[in-house]
Structure 1
Amino acid sequence: MTDLKGGHGATIGAQLRRLSERIDRDVGRIYAHLGITFEQRWFGVLNQVVQNGPMTVGELAAALRITHVSVSQSLRSLEAAGYVRALPDPQDARRRRQSLTSAGEALVVRLTPLWLAMNREAEALNREADDVAEHLDRLERTLDGRSLFDRLTASVEADDAPQA
């Protein structure tokens, strides 16, 4: 068995998941502490609609750089909670644009002070962690240039190559 201790490559995904879960857990706790029912996965979609007005699933997915499936799942739960609704696109009746309901607008007004505080604290954390956001941006750009899948495929194929 190969010893994987000490190598960052084998742990980076686990570290990112652990940190993401930790942040989501603490954010969930503050919503609960304030008596607000809110799923953290809703934030990106709501923020995009607030910033840009009604948007299609495709536009949301592109803006958030996540899959259509993830956006659709968030939208379904936001619709069920009564915070967004789908409206016909005035340019193309086959498409639907996601828009805030009056309840969604009220939720955004209620949460804006908390979101501003979260942003301030995230910026402070980033400074304390020596600009970790820039390092994560660099990692993302690196993977945009050559995906981990492509890297792993090349590595596995090189390992399987006949030895001379």
Structure 2
Amino acid sequence: MNSTLKDSDYSRSVGGAAIGARLRRLSEWLDGDTTRVYAAMGIDFEQRWFGVLNQLALHGPLTVGELAARLKITHVSVSQTRQSLEKAGIIVTDPDAADARRRRLVLTDSGTALVERLKPLWQAFDQAALTLNAEAGEVAAALDRLDDALAQRSLFDRIMDKLATP
């Protein structure tokens, strides 16, 4: 990247201080490209559905709590995705046979057909991501280290410590 372009990119120019902004930007970039791929293939699919749909395809019916734990995201996020997937007719919720208070998310027949249609596309996504990861210097390993550092000590705690230190 030439220095003029780097200078005009505030998030890039401040390095690690803008890590959140950089991650959001990269996420938007990647999500935008995947959305374009689905559209180019004539598939009506929202990228935010992937995690929940993939877990249901791999493991069968799961509760919102089980999905949140597997994906390491909030219950609220899974619930919002569930509502969208239900509205699209891709999943339904059924009572858990072992505990009627709990509800399991289950693929519908059209959801199962969609997953089958998406499998070759998801394989292409995986292959492209692996190539990109290698080209970028094994960025997934750096993200693992970031995950581990945040699990060890939250950004909140780090900021509060900085604010408490004169």
Per the shorter chain, which TM-score range? over 0.9
Distance 1:25 1:52, change over 3 A: same
Counterparts of 2:139 and 2:13, CA distance in 1: 21
Counterparts of 1:58 and 1:5, CA distance in 2: 37
Counterparts of 1:152 and 1:40, CA distance in 2: 32
Aligned to 1:38: 45
Counterparts of 1:25 and 1:71, CA distance in 2: 21
Structure 2 letter corresponding to 1:11: A
Counterparts of 1:10 and 1:134, CA distance in 2: 20
Counterparts of 2:129 and 2:94, CA distance in 1: 34
Structure 1 letter corresponding to 2:20: G
Counterparts of 1:5 and 1:106, CA distance in 2: 42
TM-score under structure 2 normalisation?
0.91
Q: Determine if the alignment matches structure 1 residue 150 to structure 2 residue 157.
A: yes
Distance 1:94 1:117, change over 3 A: same
Question: How many residue pairs end up in the alignment?
Answer: 156
Correspondence for 1:85 among 77, 83, 92: 92
Aligned to 1:162: none
Aligned to 1:71: 78
Structure 2 letter corresponding to 1:122: A
SS of corresponding position for 1:9: helix
SS of corresponding position for 2:15: coil
Aligned to 1:132: 139
- Map of 1:14-33 to 2, 5 A cutoff? 14-33=21-40
SS of corresponding position for 1:86: strand
Aligned to 2:7: none
SS of corresponding position for 1:123: helix
Correspondence for 1:101 among 95, 108, 111: 108
Q: Please provide the CA RMSD for this pair.
A: 1.3
SS of corresponding position for 2:36: helix
Name the structure where helix makes up a greater proportion of residues: 2
Structure 2: give runs of 5+ residues left out of the alignment: 1-10
SS of corresponding position for 1:99: strand
Between the aligned residues of both structures, percent identity stands at 58
Deviating above 3 A after TM superposition, structure 1's stretches of 4 or more consecutive aligned residues are: 4-7
Structure 1: give runs of 5+ residues left out of the alignment: 160-164
